[in-house]
Amino acid sequence: MGSEPDSPHTAAVSTDGVARPEPQLERTVTLTGVELASFLGHRDQLLADLETQHPNVVFNARNDVLSIRGETSAVRAAEELVREILELARRSGTVSSTDVRSIARMVRDGNGPRAAITLSEPILTVRGNAVRPQTQGQRDYVDAIEQNTIVFGIGPAGTGKTYLAMAKAVQALQRREVSKIVLTRPAVEAGERLGYLPGSLEDKIDPYLRPLFDAVGSMMDQDLVPKLLANGTIEVAPLAYMRGRTLNEAFVILDEAQNTTPEQMKMFLTRLGYGSKMVVTGDMTQVDLPVKQSGLRVVSGILRGVDDIHFSELTADDIVRHSLVGRIVDAYAAFDERSATDQHTTEGKRDR
């Protein structure tokens, strides 16, 4: 990729003490090493994504040259973003709008030089689509799973906690690092009573485990999954089925762990056997337990600092669903904070 020398533009000079506008700058980037039409996207979608991140910068693509024009500091930041996007496209072949948002955030946070590497390394490829982290937080989470025996992935909905853990489980199975995958979650209703469910025991628990079945299906060949489920290579079961077992040479994922009791969490963690790895995922803002304290909240105060156990904290910045989901999570967090402050103030007045 090449860049032309800086092309400064004359800015108005202040004579009355008012701050002078920042000088204008134009930079050009040669778009080499990519298929241009695919890189720019349908109707130059990439330019629209860039303008969303830098609304005060003008982007223009002509042949294989992208020009960037605006105030000097904004152009510098926009050029760094374009460089990282171009490098990601060279490495992975494609760049999505989500990738642009993720790289822009990483550049703003000072992680620009690592952005392309962070986002381009796939965990596995499913039906031609690469499964890979899409934020720095997700990359740190995946690296923690690689390096530790037990990892807790804690964060809001949409941060890829279960999806990435599942990808690492399938990868471990493909590499023959484990002999089976065990997926489990507590059978707790999400704030409503479902009443009597007809059918066999399997029929009754299926609604609770369906998200895990769906995750398995999205990670592997559709024809292979039923065979692996039938021979026990992949096991999906409610948490209650784990009692009394020792899980050797297994990749074990406990999903929706915020709905475990402290006793259930202890029971689950002590199932760990030789050659096994565990990932525990949960969202502390979505506890559906009727009375007892969440086992996920308790365990974070007990096991932090224990060697070979890692706690990964994902945030709204790591959400890779619709961009509105991140704003919803932030709004609820702000509401909860205001409510807690108001309650504390009310209790203080009552005490006086």
Residue 11: predicted pLDDT: 47
Angle at 63 between CA 104 and CA 78, to 5 degrees: 20
The side-by-side arrangement of strands in the sheet containing 234-238 is 234-238, 180-185, 250-254, 277-282, 150-154, 309-313
Confidence of residue 350 (pLDDT cuts 50, 70, 90): low
Residue 118: predicted pLDDT: 76
DSSP-assigned states of every residue in 15-66: SSSPPPPPPEEEEEEE--SS-HHHHH-GGGHHHHHHHHH-TTSEEEEETTEE
Q: How far apart are CA 5 and CA 159, in angstroms?
A: 40
Q: Given a cut of 70, is residue 140 above it in pLDDT? A: yes
Q: How far apart are CA 27 and CA 76, in angstroms?
A: 8
Residue 165: predicted pLDDT: 94
Residue 108: predicted pLDDT: 85
Residue 194: predicted pLDDT: 41
Residue 66: predicted pLDDT: 93
Q: What is the mean pLDDT of residues 303-331?
A: 82
Q: What is the mean pLDDT of residues 98-125?
A: 81
Q: What are 180-239's pLDDT values in tens digits?
A: 999 998 876 444 444 444 554 455 556 667 777 788 888 888 888 889 989 999 998 888
Higher pLDDT, 339 or 263: 263
Q: What is the mean pLDDT of residues 299-304?
A: 93
Which of 35-49, 72-86, 233-247, 323-337 bottoms out in mean pLDDT, i.e. has the lowest?
323-337
Q: How far apart are CA 57 and CA 67, in angstroms?
A: 10
Residue 330: predicted pLDDT: 72
Let me know how long the chain is.
Answer: 352
Q: Given a cut of 70, is residue 106 above it in pLDDT? A: yes
Higher pLDDT, 251 or 111: 251
Residue 10: predicted pLDDT: 47
Residue 195: predicted pLDDT: 47
Q: How far apart are CA 218 and CA 240, in angstroms?
A: 25
Residue 134: predicted pLDDT: 83
Contacts 24+ apart (CB under 8 A), 111-120: 111/136, 112/80, 112/81, 112/84, 115/84, 115/88, 116/84, 116/85, 116/87, 116/88, 116/91, 117/91, 119/88, 119/92, 120/87, 120/88, 120/91, 120/92
pTM of the model: 0.74
Residue 191: predicted pLDDT: 44
Tokens of 157: 């909905």
Query: Over pLDDT 70: what percentage of the chain?
Result: 82
| Averaged pLDDT of the chain | 83
Q: How far apart are CA 287 and CA 146, in angstroms?
A: 28
Q: Given a cut of 90, is residue 248 above it in pLDDT? A: yes
Residue 20: predicted pLDDT: 63
Q: What is the mean pLDDT of residues 51-76?
A: 92
Burial (CB count <10 Å: 0-12, 13-18, 19+), residue 229: middle
Residue 15: predicted pLDDT: 55
